[in-house]
Each structure stands twice: as C-alpha cells, then as structure tokens.
Amino acid sequence: RVAAEGPREIIRDGVDGALVPLGDTQSLSAAIAALLADPARRADLAAAGRARFEAEFAAPVVMATWRDYLAGVRR
C-alpha cells in the first residue's frame, strides 16, 4: 500500500506535522505517543504548521493566487 498523496503535499514530516504510512496503526500510535510525551515538540510543530498555513493556505493568499492566475488566463 502506498501512502496517501494529499497529506504529503501539505505536511512536512518533522517540520510542521507528523506523517505515518497509510494503514500503519503502530506507526500512528507511536507518533501520537511521542507527541504526547514531548509538549515542546508538539508546540513547535503546531507553531510551524500555523505559520505555514498563514503564509501559503490562508484565504487571502489563495485568493491572490487565483486572482493572478485568472488575470493571466484572461490576457
């Protein structure tokens, strides 16, 4: 089985989230346990995830990207 593509396009493993192989419940359990045991790491991942969301995926950013794209198509 291959890992799902969607999350890998958004989450950077160990940078702003944790990724585990699709269907691997042991890896999922281990990742959750590791984050529960390390509040500082959890906070770092959360802060990095929020920062990336605001920079790349927030509504104003996405709308500007679409506006630029549509303006280019119209030309």
Reduce the DSSP state of residue 75 to 3 states and report it. Answer: coil
Per-domain residue ranges of the chain:
5-74
Query: Could you report the per-residue pLDDT of 49-67, keeping only the tens digit for each?
Result: 999 999 999 999 999 999 9
pLDDT given at position 3: 60
How much is the pTM?
A: 0.77
Between the alpha carbon of residue 18 and those of residues 26, 41, 46, 64, the distances in Å are 14, 11, 11, 29
pLDDT given at position 36: 98
Query: Could you report the per-residue pLDDT of 8-64, keeping only the tens digit for each?
Result: 889 999 999 999 998 999 999 999 999 999 999 999 999 999 999 999 999 999 999
pLDDT given at position 17: 94
